[in-house]
Amino acid sequence: MNASTAPSRATPVFTADALLLDAEAEVERIVSTVRRQMGQVLRRRGAVLGLSGGIDSSVTVALMARAFGPDRVLGILMPERDSEDESLTLGHLVADAFGVPTVLEDIGPMLDAARCYQRRDEAIRRLVPEYGASWACKVVIENEGFNISYLVVQSPDGVQQKLRMPADVYLAVVAATNMKQRTRKQIEYFHADRLNYAVAGTPNRLEYDQGFFVKNGDGAADLKPIAHLYKSQVYQLAAYLGVPEEIRRRPPTTDTWSLAQTQEEFYFSAPWQVMDLCLLGLNSHAPVEEVAGAAGLTADQVQHIWKDIEAKRRSTRYLHEAPLLVDPA
């Protein structure tokens, strides 16, 4: 059989292994890139970032410490009334693991002064008139052909209610809650300015692609060193870099609401392991059947997630936009 009649080599099959990377090589690539960005573009002495005790900020602080040295990285711990106690403990743990100095900034008084909690609670009382300071809440999404947001409240005696929110209540609750991310970023830039440091953002690719951030809040940064990495790849780097096991075991959380809430409950249509594979499959134009096999889903389920990914890209595109000008500067 000559070359012209030989069968063509089969297209590689899409599997979960597509998310595997060479952690050592990737760390060195990120480190060399951020060193160049810091020295040639940003012209700053080091990096500041918020430490939440989550996997993304932990990997980012490890990378910054490796790139610039621990003494040129500052971790900011910023608890508030609704923060989980574990977040502060794990934030200290990762800072100690990589020798990074920290400052503690309780942002609760700032949020009180800006009426963050009051504005949120006033919006909730449109649905639950008895809602007060001793209650707890969170927002969750459920798919009923399209995504519907529900408010979950818990009374002081532990009884929960789940209520569908009209648009004005949803927008008011989320607008008030977004003050938390914007306040944290204000604190980060204060410390960055006084030290002549840059602010390092911590979104991974799934969050960045899907607009899971607050504009001028956690979406604001001078560099975003892991925004190209899928969540699964962030965990791979965490293991290589030596991020403490307690942090790697912790389920991803928004740590924004007074009731415990996962990212899947609030925003994503599937667990992050599944979302990673579906997003990669969509980005690489892999056959839907192969993505379904890799993710343990049906082809229809993958198509549904792809539809949700595209919808979120459209609805959150404005988050990525720089301020619009009449004439280019």
How many other CB atoms sit within 10 Å of the CB of residue 290?
Answer: 18
How many other CB atoms sit within 10 Å of the CB of residue 245?
Answer: 10
Query: In sequence order, what DSSP letters do the residues of 69-127 get, joined into one string?
Result: -GGGEEEEE---TT--HHHHHHHHHHHHHTT--EEE---HHHHHHTTHHHHHHHHHTTT
Reduce the DSSP state of residue 287 to 3 states and report it: coil
Task: Give the helix/strand (H/E) hosting 50.
Answer: strand 47-50
- Which 8-state DSSP code applies to residue 166? P
Per residue in 113-145, pLDDT (tens digit) is: 999 999 999 999 999 999 998 999 999 988 766
Per residue in 63-115, pLDDT (tens digit) is: 999 999 999 999 999 999 999 999 999 999 999 999 999 999 999 999 999 99
Q: What is the largest CA-CA distance in the chain?
A: 81
pTM score? 0.93
* Amino acid type, 65: A
309 or 147, higher pLDDT = 309
> Do 61 and 49 contact (CB within 8 A), yes or no?
yes
Residue 207 Cα distances to 32, 40, 122, angstroms: 24, 27, 29
Task: Give the helix/strand (H/E) hosting 160.
Answer: strand 160-164
Per residue in 165-184, pLDDT (tens digit) is: 999 999 999 999 999 999 99
Which of 46, 69, 320 minimizes the C-alpha distance to 200?
A: 46
Per residue in 224-235, pLDDT (tens digit) is: 999 999 999 999
